[in-house]
Amino acid sequence: MNADIDRWDVENPQFWENTGKRIATRNLWISIPNLLCGFALWMMWGIITVQMLNLGFPFEASELFTLTAIAGLSGATLRIPASFMIRIAGGRNTVFLTTALLLIPAFGAGFALQNPDTPLWVFQLLALVSGIGGGNFAASMSNISTFYPKSQQGLALGMNAGLGNFGVTTMQILIPAVMTVALFAWLGAGESMTLIRDSGTLIGRIEAGSETYIQNAGFIWVVILIPMVIAAWFGMNNLRTITPQINSTFTAFLQILGLYGIGLFTAAVGLYLYLPAPTGLGILNPWLAVLLITGGTLFLMRIMPGRIGENSKRQFAIFKNQHTWSMTILYILTFGSFIGFSMALPLSITVIFGSSAVEVNGVIERVSNPNAPSALTWAWIGPFVGALIRPVGGWISDKWGGSIVTQWIAIVMVFASAAVGYVMMLAYQSETPEQYFLTFIVLFILIFAATGIGNGSTFRTIGVVFNQEQKGPVLGWTSAVAGFGAFIAPMVIGDQIRGGTPEYAMYGFAVFYALCLGLNWWFYLRKNAKIKNP
């Protein structure tokens, strides 16, 4: 099979039915599981850190929150260069290599988790590299957008993103399950460890004193990734109409590595300036770190010699379009919330409901809660619902219009976020926080459902607002900025929990969602909007 396709005209109905539809479908169904693996490797630290606490790894909860934040920041940063990869290196080349790179954090986590004395910096480095999985989303969405006509953008992108997002749920169900059995003992992959706190799986609680194999959380993805990489190499295509200047596969690989090298460098520098001693200098707040990293990444891409710099300059034209910025903010509303809460929820459940507020000699102290729900049993439900409903959001938006759907989900998110903040306050101040857990998890499921529908609706709007040349880079850029939610949400929620006021984080998110409501109306729904997109 020829990996490169020279003629591609999907807006021509005859070409689409006779040729394009079959090729596009094959590329989509190979893209989805590769993207799923990317999400899983990126998000796995949210579950791994919970089990590290349960096993008594010698780290504070705040230090483990940094692992989820590092992975989140790295993945979001890597989306910036990844959004330009398809037009520089080709779809098949990009998906193959970026998925293959995930074997590094998969192997690394498996080996590092075998020893509780592994230094924190090793886990932080692995979390940084696992951000490759987050970066892959931008390249994947940019790639699939080039295979489908405008009339089917919402559904196609919703399928790729929605089913790819199942990597979060797949990881949250699979990792707790595989940690219960000695799957890789025959390879000499470490001994079991003994739980000092209760853990759990999808089917229920695992009592303290049980044996577990936390290293399987990394090794299981090696087994899954290998066939995905093979399928990408033999089944996907580069579109020459999108990437006309591919000189060779080897050159394309070097360009991909160069782009990801830029992102990893700027993320590492930003994290060093942000993280407190002894890991970093602690001289930046998270918002300044994000601005510095984003600006540094764009600057280095622009001054790169050769085709990377040339293509970057040409595609930077998207930043002159005001709709690039409005859609970026609206995608933070949807995907930023989805990925941020997916990353923060497991550890938040463990910290908020895992201890009770008890008065001792007139002083409120936090003690272990024997009736605490297990994050490993419950945390998967919200991301599952959000991912499952995402293609539905794309379909509804194709039918009714992306912006009107976005407007309704923003309203839901404003009220649900404020409500969950209030419930978090009650739980954190209670001697029996578990009584509030059902309300808490139902409200979060509602938020995840809204983000899933909104993910589809914002992609539909982008497909309508931008032309074929700008659509891919805009999809990548908006997903990159929204991906910073995976860094901001754990940090904001973690900081507020340490301050004893977790509800403030959710109240702040509710205010942001209200601002997005007004922005969406102003740009796309009001009477004199430049682009009316109901």
pLDDT tens for residues 181-240?
A: 888 877 767 788 998 887 877 767 788 888 999 999 999 999 999 999 999 999 999 998
pLDDT of residue 301: 86
Asked if 231 and 38 count as a contact pair (C-beta separation under 8 A), the reply is no
Sequence-distant contacts of 167-170: CB under 8 A, at least 24 apart: 167/35, 167/36, 167/37, 167/38, 167/39, 167/40, 167/41, 167/42, 167/43, 167/133, 168/39, 168/40, 168/43, 168/339, 168/342, 168/380, 168/383, 168/387, 169/380, 169/383, 169/384, 169/387, 170/36, 170/40
**Residues listed for the chain:** 534
**Fold topology of 321-533:** Growth Hormone; Chain: A; (1.20.1250)
pLDDT tens for residues 231-288?
A: 999 999 999 888 887 878 999 999 999 999 999 999 999 999 988 777 778 888 888 8
Q: Which residues fall within 8 angstroms of residue 161, CB to CB, at 6 or more apart? A: 35, 137, 141, 390, 455, 456, 459
200-214 core/surface letters (b: 16 or more CB in 10 A; e: else): bbeeeebeeeeebbb
Q: Which residues pair with 366 in a beta bridge?
A: 357
pLDDT tens for residues 506-518?
A: 999 999 999 999 9
pLDDT tens for residues 92-141?
A: 999 999 999 999 999 999 999 999 999 999 999 999 999 999 999 889 98
Q: Which position has the higher pLDDT, 13 or 163?
A: 13
Instruction: Report percent pLDDT > 90 for the chain.
Output: 38
Residue 494 has pLDDT above 80, yes or no: no
Q: Could you tell me which of 183, 263, 255 has the C-alpha nearest to residue 218?
A: 183
Q: Which residues fall within 8 angstroms of residue 1, CB to CB, at 6 or more apart? A: 234
Position 26 confidence tier, pLDDT thresholds 50, 70, 90: very high
User: pTM above 0.85?
Assistant: no
What distance in Å separates the CA atoms of residue 85 and residue 136, rounded to the nearest whole number? 10
pLDDT of residue 309: 67
Domain boundaries, the chain: 321-533
Q: Which position has the higher pLDDT, 3 or 39?
A: 39
- The listed range with the strongest mean pLDDT (385-394, 402-411, 439-448, 460-469) is 439-448
Mean pLDDT of 478-482: 81
Give the 3-state secondary structure of residue 5: strand
Q: Provide the mean pLDDT of the chain.
A: 86
